[in-house]
Amino acid sequence: MRKKLIHFLWGFLIFMTMGAFASFIAIWNGWIGYMPDIEDLQNPISRYASQVYSADGKLLGTYNMNRENRIHVGYNNLSPYLIKALVATEDERFYEHSGIDFIALARAVVKRGLLGQTSAGGGSTITQQLAKQLYSQTAESTSERLIQKPIEWVIAIKLEKFYTKEEIITMYLNYFDFLHNAVGIKNAANVYFGKDPSKLTLDEAATLIGLCKNPSFFNPVRYPERCLERRNVVLGQMLKAGYITRAEFDENKMKDLELNFHRSDHKDGIATYFREFLRQYMMAKKPELSKYPSWNRVQYSVDSLAWETDPLYGWCNKNLKKNGEPYNVYTDGLKIFTTLDSRMQKYAEDAVRKHVGGYLQPEFSKENRTKPNAPFTKALKASEVNSILDRAMRQSDRYRMLKAQGASEEEIKESFKKPVEMTVFTYHGDIDTLMSPMDSIRYVKSFLRAGFMSMDPRNGAVKAYVGGIDFTHFKYDMVTQGRRQVGSTIKPFLYALSMANGMSPCDVVRNVQRSYGNWTPRNGSRARYGSMVTLKWALSMSNNWISADLMSRINPQDFLRILRDFGINTFGIYPSIVLCLGPNEATVSEMVSAYTTFANHGIHTKPMFVSKIEDSDGNVIANFQPRMNEVISEEGAYKMLEMLMSVIDHGTGGRMRYKYKVECPMGGKTGTTNRNADAWFMGFTPTLVSGCWVGGEDRDIHFDSTRMGQGANMTLPIWAYYMKKVFADRSLGYDPNEKFDIPEDFNPCSSADDEIDSRYSIEEIYE
């Protein structure tokens, strides 16, 4: 009987051994369970976030998918404390095994499995934990988890075959989710301590490694006491392993849990509008007319032109990786080096918020108290306001959701009248309140919007980009998305065409009102009415009558042609005499780019948002160069400088000097459209061109008084605040005394009839 039992046990052992071996072979070859391809094992973490850097080396933000905003950190950039803490706590024999620690496994089986000692520790190695994170789905039962275990053992052995110990540790720390959207050690170090992984101290490293056991249970934000206890356990393991001394253990064990916590979110930080613009711009696909609504065909033309002429537009879909797939900013770990300067970006954002939030919005709210249709202009009837609000309601997500659920029009309208809990924007911070959805639409529309951009005219490098007042609540980008009427800021292009055709700033025209067919332009001032005035004076005063007189002698098609040369999209614009007053629409980006021509010797420079792109291995895969085209001659540019500097020194931009005390050599132009719906200011120095727009979400939302609504009051101060900060920061290198390099012998009053640009036709200037 005893002999039979021995034979049975030996047979059972041989059977189990052969079964285990057969199972191992089956798992290894993928016959049982899931076994990743060799290619996946050789590149197990492909979903790295792309990083967006400023020109001065600051990380502006990341692009990521499904919260996986991990940023790769090399082994040499990890704090040694991190590595020692991880090995001591999670896998003390890490450097001795080949993926499976049989001693730890046996201990776990006996103590945890047979004796039920839950504190005995697990048998998983760091490599096995990595295999689990990379390739195992969350198990829904104990039996499913038991099946996953041997598969993870095999994957761990394969990982050890392909990678060094250092690479496995690096992958583990780069992949682990430390909670609070802190995926990967770089984000974790930043979210919890506001520093780079290489700078983590002993206690900080122990805190983060402590989370590896269970980040939710040891959450340092919700459960600081638990986290502190776990940190000290990690320190104890490091002492036991000989990685730290008793003195280091005693010192760090007594430290409080000192976090520098801030949540990681793509909406955090500076340049939020710019980062979103860049994401969409780089990921754009080749435009297809069928995908554009009939009312937005102009945008199709704009996008098609960008696809053909701008290497950055649709870059991800124009360029392919080694495997033949297009790039993806969410998963390919690109490093995108932008032209933005983080300091100038901050100054621009501060300037917009200071003027719009600190001055204009309170004044606008004060004016709205007396308006029955606030925030809309008094010129509108109640029925017109209701029509606008009704349209806004139908465009809302709430309306579409209720419609999809089968609600009737009456039911939807009733629901929009009932107060609900919501969080709304204020300049003093978001507030929770009770408000009806219809009232919230009116409330949101009561905030003035703004767009600002600044760029170097010599190479097109965009230095600052502010698409609005608050990206979280007002996502519509007024730098590149919003197109608004440009008003008088169009006049320098008309004058430039006149200069190109032989005129000079000193030429004179009679300052009188005239009719042109059924159109009679109005003017804001009757100063020097009936007198002969110079073009220089007329532009500095933004005189509409003189602009109309010049335009009446020019072929409107020629004007559209030079606008295109300046970089203004003219798709859908009808050529007519009224173009001289700027009824056409443009973006802030287009206008700033256009004004580079005056600061750059007649050469128009297109915006350059990115200087280069690197792949996840640090290889430069794209370089971007300035894109320029000549619009007017150097002499024509000097003439325009003469006039545009006069706008600031003696004209509508004069408060730049007498009120805001900006004394640098500069040119500029104010702009205000009908009923003060749009306010503009374009200003430039020899090395920086900046432009700003301020207005309402709808054109019928604006100041009713021109005193408040004009460009000189609405937008010029933003430029002033920004430039004063830029000049004050000597590290930026902008000199407030730098002059335009106009030749000393240049005579702005000379004609240049022999240099008329043959591209543009013009009738006789004088009657």
Digit-coded pLDDT (tens) for 487-546: 999 999 999 999 999 899 999 999 999 999 999 999 989 999 999 999 999 999 999 999
Buried b (16+ CB within 10 A) or exposed e, 389-412: beebbeeeeebeebeeeeeeeeeb
Q: What is the mean pLDDT of residues 375-391?
A: 94
Model pLDDT, residue 766: 24
Least confident stretch, 18-32, 270-284, 400-414, 545-559: 18-32
pLDDT of residue 697: 96
Top-confidence range, 13-27, 138-152, 739-753: 739-753
What region does 528 belong to: left with phi over 0, alpha with psi -120 to 50, or beta?
Answer: left
What pLDDT, on the 0 to 100 scale, is given for residue 757? 37
Beta strands at 610-614 and 335-338: parallel, antiparallel or unpaired: antiparallel
| Angle of the 142-162 helix axis to the 126-135 helix axis, nearest 10 | 110
The pTM of the full predicted model, rounded to 2 decimals, is: 0.80
Q: Is 501 exposed, middle or buried (CB count within 10 Å of its CB: 0-12, 13-18, 19+)?
A: buried
- Nearest alpha carbon to residue 412 among 430, 435, 395, 434: 395
Averaged over 699-715, what is the pLDDT?
95
Sequence-distant (6+) residues with CB within 8 A of 475 are: 276, 468
| Secondary element (H or E) of residue 681 | strand 678-685
**What gap in Å lies between CA 382 and CA 402, rounded to an integer?**
26
Quick one: pLDDT at residue 265? 59
Phi, psi of 42 (to 5 degrees): -80, -15
Q: Cα–Cα distance between 569 and 539 in angstroms, integer?
A: 23
Percent of the chain at pLDDT exceeding 90: 70
Q: Report the percent of the chain where pLDDT is more than 70.
A: 85
| pLDDT of res. 142 | 53
728: which residues sit within 8 A by CB, 6+ positions away? none
pLDDT of residue 534: 96
Q: HSE of 121 in the Cβ direction (CA atoms, 13 Å)? A: 16
Dump the DSSP string for 364-424. Answer: HHHHHTT-TTTTS-TTS-HHHHHHHHHHHHHTSHHHHHHHHTT--HHHHHHHTTS-EEEEE
What pLDDT, on a 0 to 100 scale, did the predictor assign at position 764? Answer: 26
* Predicted local confidence at residue 226, as pLDDT: 93
CA distances from 377 to 96, 257, 371, 683 (A): 77, 55, 8, 29
Question: How many CB atoms lie under 10 A from the CB of residue 615?
Answer: 17
What are the DSSP calls for 500-554, one per residue? Answer: HTT--TT-EEE-----BTTB----S--TTTTSEEEHHHHHHTT-HHHHHHHHHTB
Tell me the per-residue pLDDT of 549-593, one tens digit each, with 9 for 90 and over. Answer: 999 999 999 999 999 999 999 988 999 999 999 999 999 999 999
Q: pLDDT category, 759, cuts 50, 70, 90?
A: very low
What span, in angstroms and rounded, lies between the C-alpha atoms of 289 and 86?
Answer: 55
pLDDT digits (tens, 9 = 90+) for 410-435: 999 999 999 999 999 999 999 999 99
| CATH superfamily ID and name for 482-748 | DD-peptidase/beta-lactamase superfamily (3.40.710.10)
- 607 prior amide bond cis, ω within 30: no
Average pLDDT on 658-675 reads 96
- What is the Cα Rg of the chain in Å? 33
Cβ contact 738:492 at 8 Å: no
Non-local (6+) Cβ contacts of 575 within 8 A are 556, 557, 559, 560
Reported as type and span, the H/E element at residue 50 is: strand 50-53
Q: How far is CA 557 from the centre of its chain?
A: 37
Dist CA 710 CA 651 (whole Å):
14
**Tokens standing for 170?**
């690096």
| CA-wise closest residue to 89 among 252, 233, 197 | 233
pLDDT for position 680: 98
Question: Whole-number mean pLDDT of the chain?
Answer: 88
| Residue 268 confidence class, pLDDT cut points 50, 70, 90 | low
Q: What is the pLDDT of residue 762?
A: 29
Strand-strand pairing, 610-614 and 620-623:
antiparallel
pLDDT digits (tens, 9 = 90+) for 714-741: 999 999 999 999 999 999 999 999 999 9
Provide the pLDDT for residue 18: 59
pLDDT of residue 455 exceeding 70, the answer is yes
Per-residue HEC secondary structure of 214-244 comes to CCCCCCCCCCHHHHHHHHHHHHHHHHHCCCC
d(CA 690, CA 1): 98
DSSP conformation class of 112? I
